[in-house]
Chains A and B, each alone.
Chain A
Amino acid sequence: MAATALDSEITKSDKYSILLPTYNEKENLPIIIWLIVKYLDNTDYDYEVIIIDDGSPDGTLDVAKQLQKIYGSHKIVLKPREKKLGLGTAYIHGIKHATGNFIIIMDADLSHHPKFIPKFIDLQREHDYDLVTGTRYVDEGGVYGWDFKRTRGLRCYEIYFRVLLQWWQKQLKTATHSNIKFKFTIYKKLYKKDILQKLIDSCVSKGYVFQMEMIIRARQLDYTIGEIPITFVDRVYGESKLGGSEIFQFAKALLYLFATT
């Protein structure tokens, strides 16, 4: 009896810290915040949004300040940095200031729709997963706005990744047992905070490789992973921060992991 009472105490005090790193997202930021509030205020879950802006020249921070005024500083937390220091360190910076025991990582560019957040949370609570990730590959999951070249590119990476790094690997433990073998990032997801911290600490690589190393580490550490089908709508406003060197970087990153893990 005492144990169940304690359990419900703990779940009641669950808090979700949503990390939103931004760089030149002044058009997207108000929309994503509005959507997060819309879908989470519908639920009982306690949450905060931590905006980590890296001194965007387009004035994203001013937009963030306006939003903080509208929604309150308990909900919208601003942790800006002086200059562009990169996405990886932005997350580490955000985790340091997070007051929740769960961390949700998402892009500010509207490609990850906040309507999926309650589903992530529900699934995590149901099975007590260490982390929950989105998949574009089962049921109603998918992408929008990708041309043939880009889809082909993604598919090529998947197979390249699988052949190089996961050929003899045991499957990750997932609920749906979908094509997780093909999946090469588990970056933008829901995590138990301590698990995310451990994952980050166990990664040796920086920058882009980091995304891919995380899934490898998650497997090595035997974490349990849940999956939710998500749709991925390509960014509507603003520019992608990934240039043409992306392909080259990916390939290099995989080779690096190939030789070191």
Chain B
Amino acid sequence: MTKLLEWISVISAVFAVWYSIVGGYVKHPIIDNNISIILVSPIIFVILFGLYAATVVLYRVFTFNNCEEAAKELQAEIAEARKDLLDKGMKF
């Protein structure tokens, strides 16, 4: 099964549940009391997910290791390499 099909099946299952509740096919006092929340719950879910994603992205941006040391070491090695290669007869 491709990812696309996986997504379609999960989303349609969730939608079926949501629709049966909103459409009044299932009756329960809890549902009746919270019907407005249930109605907008897909939007709430999308917003929450967006916030989660944004938080994760930002967190991971700011905790990304900046390797000053590695960059300095590389610069030194580049100088050393050029010198050694010139000695070996390399023409740059």
Contact = CB atoms under 8 A, between A and B. Distances in A.
Interface string B1-40: 0111011000000000000000000000000000000000
Contact of B74 (A66, A67, A233): A233
Contacts of A248: none
B57 interface: yes
* Secondary structure of the A contact surface, majority rule: helix
* Secondary structure of the B contact surface, majority rule: helix
Interface string A125-166: 000000000001000111111101001100110110001110
A104 to B, nearest CB: 19
Interface stretch (A27-35, A82-90, A191-199): A27-35
A260 B2 contact: yes
A142 B2 contact: no
B78 A236 contact: yes
A233 B71 contact: yes
Contacts of B77: 31, 35
A248 B74 CA distance: 32
Contacts of B70: 113, 142, 144, 231, 233
A31 B89 CA distance: 14
Contacts of B85: 30, 34, 70
A45 interface: no
Interface residues of B, number: 31
B46 interface: no
A114 B60 CA distance: 26
Nearest to B3: A258
A26 B41 CA distance: 58
Nearest to B49: A163
Nearest to A182: B60
Interface string B53-67: 100111011001111
A205 B13 CA distance: 31
Interface in A158-184: 158-159, 163-165, 168
Given A136-B64, A142-B70, 16 more contacts: A34-B81, A35-B81, A66-B90, A70-B90, A110-B74, A142-B66, A144-B67, A144-B71, A155-B61, A158-B60, A159-B53, A164-B3, A231-B65, A231-B70, A258-B2, A261-B2
Interface of A: 30-31, 34-35, 66-67, 69-70, 110, 113, 136, 140-146, 148, 151-152, 155-156, 158-159, 163-165, 168, 231-233, 236, 257-261
8 contacts: A30-B81, A35-B77, A66-B91, A143-B65, A148-B61, A152-B61, A159-B53, A236-B74
